[in-house]
Structure 1
Amino acid sequence: MNMAWHNSGTTNADLVENLWRNKLITQPVVKNAFLKVDRAHYAPSQPYEDSPQPIGHGATISAPHMHAHAVETLLPFLLPKVNDDDPGVIGQPGRPRRVLDIGSGSGYLTHVLAELVGETGVVVGLEHIPALKELGERNMAKSPEGRALLDSGRVRFRVGDGRKGWSEPSPGESQPGVGGAAAPDAAASEGEKKDEAGGWDAIHVGAAAATLHDELVRQLRSPGRMFIPVEAGNGWEEQYIWTVDKDEHGNVTKKKLYGVRYVPLTDAPK
């Protein structure tokens, strides 16, 4: 996927149009989301170049084509589904979307994800370094749209160990309808009701894990999907993107996609 010289542009619109032209973005709704988020608010230099950039603290903002692939892979679990007559979107009718962005770094992808989940969805950006959590908040506050997402509670940045996932409390009365649960069916089991209130429809992991952490898989809703780079564990420093799907019955399917190079998902520096 080394196509940086084809995808880079001189403006945000150029960059996104090149990603579209080269079929790194294939869905119009994804293209529109990327157009709404100016990468210049998140990348420290050369924001419209299709390459990763360091953002401090041993972290990077990934190349735009990797963000595009992550979003398109997770897309069926990001878009709100209004009713059962919408066959193009996988999900439970009326259920607000909950998305966890582990290793949120600059906050760029967190913002793009928030543009897709709808007005009742919530995206939580999780960082193990407080300074990066604050960086994501500052970057998002650079635009009126980003400030509105933060003020509404539709985007929240948190500090925690991404290997353990995250449990985000339900919104209070000051944020009615944002990221809450749909009214549970009277016949639903207790486990199903718990899944409605918590868990994540989609989990994006932006750093390479040593393994497919069971806690992250457990926190996936049914149905749900995780996009995660994982170290091969063969001593050759190889990493691969995996998807982990959980169907409506709780059955888990894991799929290995392609080789990548991410910073490791580790403890915060001392």
Structure 2
Amino acid sequence: MRSLILNGLASFERYLATMAWRSHGKDNEDLVNNLLSNGLITSNQVADAMKKVDRRNYVLSKFQAYYDSPSSIDYGATISAPHMHAHAAQCLLPFCKPGANILDVGSGSGYLSAVLYHLAEDSTVVGIEHVPELVDWSIKNLKADGLSNAIENGRIKMVAGDGRKGFADNAPYDVIHVGAAAPTLPQPLVDQLASPGRMFIPVGTSDQHVWQIDKDEDGNVSKKVLFGVLYVPLTDYKR
């Protein structure tokens, strides 16, 4: 059974690699439409949320804004490829209900914090990032993308801190997204997950996979391995 699961994961990884290079767009809407037509987005709700967030506002390399590939944002960090953000949003969608409380760990440029904000009506999103300069930059990006009011009224809050410890001040969270790979599952994030709630997190060092962590109404926690990835590590900022 384990070999069948691994074979399935390998096939899915090859599919992602094949579809990603076909999904580049000439602008943000074209990029999202290509992700949708290639099956990397499977929900119109996710597509609509991603169309509201112009990726150009969240990258340093503007000419790569609509490529379906990761891009450096300095400080050893990257903005993930759009298809990875799409998979995260798809995975978390069932828990992105009106009024959801959301934590985005390793929020980087602020891109996925914005997508999750649009995905869940009347939501509150906390983005936590351990590089203070990226926190400041992400706030500028969000404002450039039309989300000044959401920041001013506290619906989007970007903070500097150790994402491995979560952000207890706003817990529990219906949704937790982690944008960097933890060597093991951080217990504080599990503790801060609501009942029910869902977490999307890459786990591993040289061999990384995305885990879907679910907590049910009774507080029982389950894990599902989704697919292999290659993320920057979830770690301390080394100046």
Q: Work out whether the TM-score is over 0.5.
A: yes
Q: How does 1:69-84 map to 2 (within 5 A)?
A: 69-80=87-98
Count of residues in correspondence between the two structures = 221
Partner Cα separation in structure 2 for residue 267 and residue 213 of structure 1: 14
Corresponding residue for residue 107 of structure 2: 104
Say if 2:118 is the partner of 1:115: yes
Say if 2:36 is the partner of 1:20: yes
1:263 to 224, 232, 235: 232
Deviation at 1:168, TM superposition (A): 2.9
Corresponding residue for residue 163 of structure 1: 164
Residue identity opposite 1:241 in structure 2: V
Partner Cα separation in structure 2 for residue 211 and residue 132 of structure 1: 24
1:252 to 213, 216, 221: 221
Q: How does 1:1-270 map to 2 (within 5 A)?
A: 1-2=16-17, 3-45=19-61, 46-80=64-98, 96-119=99-122, 121-144=123-146, 146-169=147-170, 198-231=171-204, 237-270=206-239
Deviation at 1:161, TM superposition (A): 0.6
Deviation at 1:147, TM superposition (A): 1.3
Partner Cα separation in structure 1 for residue 168 and residue 188 of structure 2: 11
Residue identity opposite 2:190 in structure 1: V
Deviation at 1:166, TM superposition (A): 0.7
Partner Cα separation in structure 2 for residue 143 and residue 103 of structure 1: 19
Residue identity opposite 1:32 in structure 2: D
Q: Secondary structure at the match of 2:168?
A: coil
Partner Cα separation in structure 2 for residue 168 and residue 116 of structure 1: 23
Deviation at 1:157, TM superposition (A): 0.1
Partner Cα separation in structure 2 for residue 205 and residue 57 of structure 1: 18
Q: Which one has the bigger helix percentage? A: 2
Partner Cα separation in structure 2 for residue 159 and residue 5 of structure 1: 33
Partner Cα separation in structure 2 for residue 59 and residue 76 of structure 1: 28
Q: Secondary structure at the match of 2:211?
A: strand
Deviations 1:120-172 (A, max 9, x none): x200010011001111101111132x212212211000011111111235xxx
Deviation at 1:28, TM superposition (A): 1.1
Deviation at 1:117, TM superposition (A): 1.8
Partner Cα separation in structure 2 for residue 143 and residue 262 of structure 1: 25
Q: Give me the CA root mean square deviation.
A: 1.0
Partner Cα separation in structure 2 for residue 113 and residue 143 of structure 1: 14
Partner Cα separation in structure 2 for residue 143 and residue 264 of structure 1: 27
The percentage of aligned residue pairs carrying the same residue is: 53
TM-score (norm 2): 0.90
TM-score (norm 1): 0.80
| Ranges of 4+ aligned residues in structure 1 off by more than 4 Å | none
Q: Secondary structure at the match of 1:99?
A: strand
Partner Cα separation in structure 1 for residue 215 and residue 90 of structure 2: 17
Deviation at 1:79, TM superposition (A): 2.1
Corresponding residue for residue 85 of structure 1: none
Deviations 1:181-216 (A, max 9, x none): xxxxxxxxxxxxxxxxx3100100000001011111
Structure 2, unpaired ranges of 5+: 1-15
Q: Secondary structure at the match of 1:204?
A: strand
Residue identity opposite 1:41 in structure 2: N
Deviations 1:19-46 (A, max 9, x none): 0101111111111101111001001221
